[in-house]
């Protein structure tokens, strides 16, 4: 099924969603991404529970929480790796995923919004189709094509954007189009400071440059929305500072919206316009960095210290 077919099918069956009132969109900012009551359930385990959030266009929004909170699972629902058990996902105002509990899941699902989504079910687009829509992603564990050079990694990503999947991306197109893509690849490498290592194997690069290459490869697909899953993982303090500048630079240069998962709180607080916090799959707090940083629920989730426990320790 083509990307257009997926969107057309969803528009016909799902219809328009009610305007969200979650987070920073309470004004009239256009949204790049909207999640409404998204749930991901594996058997009896609810990994994401009725998650609702808004990611306005042109902003840097962070999703944080302790290990195992459900952050990467939420990203997997957005990018088509998982098909949510329930909920609505919109991209650039268009329904991308709308589901309702089905089969065995319907019998054990306990969400309060089950009836709202009953009676219709739309297949989640594949990751390749979601790339075509304009969503790109990086991973916590860097996933470069190990046998390819830096140049080939980025060029193949460009072909994926044009050809819709990795297999057809490896096959070359007409000479004029191929030349244009190679020139664009070199321009991108130059802009990202990777031109001098273009002929090196991707896995031979220092860790910080591998992370930069992974982001450059994502940019090669011309995304509107960039999802970064713990981009500072494994970086030293200096590399983390450079990453913060890098993310802000590419947001401004390419007019991107950035949705970020990260454990480095200094990075999150320095570059985020708005933050959502989840624990055990559910939202526990949201707000601008200053508000979230001092929220008692966030402190308890990260440190495991409740207000009662702290009061006792001070007596």
In the chain the domains, ranked by start, together with CATH numbers, are: 3-125+270-282 (3.40.50), 135-222 (3.40.50.300)
Of the candidates 285, 218, 284, 289, the one whose C-alpha atom is nearest the C-alpha of residue 257 is: 218
Choice among 15-29, 126-140, 194-208 with the minimum mean pLDDT: 15-29
Decide which of 25 and 130 is more confident: 130
Residue 195 to residue 188: CA distance in whole angstroms: 9
Token pair in block for residue 281:
């799959």
E strands, the chain, in order: 31-42, 45-56, 60-64, 86-91, 94-99, 135-137, 225-229, 257-261, 274-279, 282-287
Q: DSSP 3-state assignment of 154?
A: helix
Token pair in block for residue 222:
């011309």
pLDDT tens-digit map of 72-95: 999 999 999 999 999 999 999 999
Q: What is the mean pLDDT of residues 255-267?
A: 96
Global pTM value: 0.80
Question: Which residues does residue 279 pair with via DSSP β-bridges, in sequence order?
Answer: 282
Token pair in block for residue 127:
């990751």
Alpha helices in 109-202 (DSSP H): 114-117, 127-133, 150-163, 166-170, 175-191
Residue 45 per-residue DSSP state: E
Q: Mean pLDDT highest for which of 16-25, 232-241, 275-284?
A: 275-284
Residue 202 to residue 214: CA distance in whole angstroms: 9
What lies within 8 Å, CB to CB, of 241 at 6+ separation is: none
Pairing of strands 282-287, 274-279: antiparallel
Decide which of 155 and 18 is more confident: 155
Residue 9 to residue 255: CA distance in whole angstroms: 29
Cα 12 versus chain centre, distance: 26
Q: What is the mean pLDDT of residues 19-27?
A: 54
Whether 187 shows a pLDDT value over 50: the answer reads yes
pLDDT tens-digit map of 273-282: 999 999 999 9
Token pair in block for residue 123:
């297949």
């Amino acid at each position: 099924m083509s990307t257009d077919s997926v969107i057309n099918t969803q528009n016909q069956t799902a219809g328009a969603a009610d305007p969200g009132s979650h987070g920073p969109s309470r004004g009239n900012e256009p949204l790049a991404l909207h999640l409404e009551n998204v749930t991901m359930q594996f058997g009896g385990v609810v990994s994401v529970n009725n998650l609702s959030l808004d990611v306005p266009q042109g902003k840097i929004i962070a999703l944080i929480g302790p290990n195992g909170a459900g952050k990467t699972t939420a990203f997997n629902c957005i990018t088509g790796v998982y098909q949510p058990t329930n909920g609505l996902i919109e991209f650039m105002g268009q329904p991308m995923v709308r589901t309702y509990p089905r089969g065995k899941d319907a019998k054990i699902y306990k969400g309060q919004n089950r009836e709202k989504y009953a009676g219709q079910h739309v297949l989640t687009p594949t990751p390749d189709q979601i790339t075509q829509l304009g969503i790109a992603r990086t991973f916590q564990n860097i996933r470069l094509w190990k046998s390819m050079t830096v140049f080939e990694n980025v060029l193949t990503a460009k072909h994926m954007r044009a050809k819709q999947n990795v297999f057809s991306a490896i096959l070359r197109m007409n000479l004029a189009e191929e030349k244009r893509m190679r020139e664009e690849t070199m321009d991108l490498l130059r802009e990202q400071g990777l031109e001098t290592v273009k002929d090196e194997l991707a896995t031979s690069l220092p860790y910080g440059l591998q992370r930069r290459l992974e982001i450059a490869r994502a940019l090669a697909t011309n995304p509107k929305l960039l999802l970064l899953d713990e981009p500072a993982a494994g970086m030293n303090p200096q590399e983390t500072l450079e990453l913060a500048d890098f993310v802000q630079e590419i947001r401004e240069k390419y007019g991107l919206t950035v949705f970020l998962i990260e454990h480095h709180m200094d990075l999150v607080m320095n570059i985020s316009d708005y933050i959502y916090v989840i624990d055990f799959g559910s939202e526990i707090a949201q707000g601008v960095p200053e508000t979230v940083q001092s929220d008692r629920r966030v402190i308890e989730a990260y440190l495991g210290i409740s207000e009662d426990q702290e009061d006792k320790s001070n007596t």
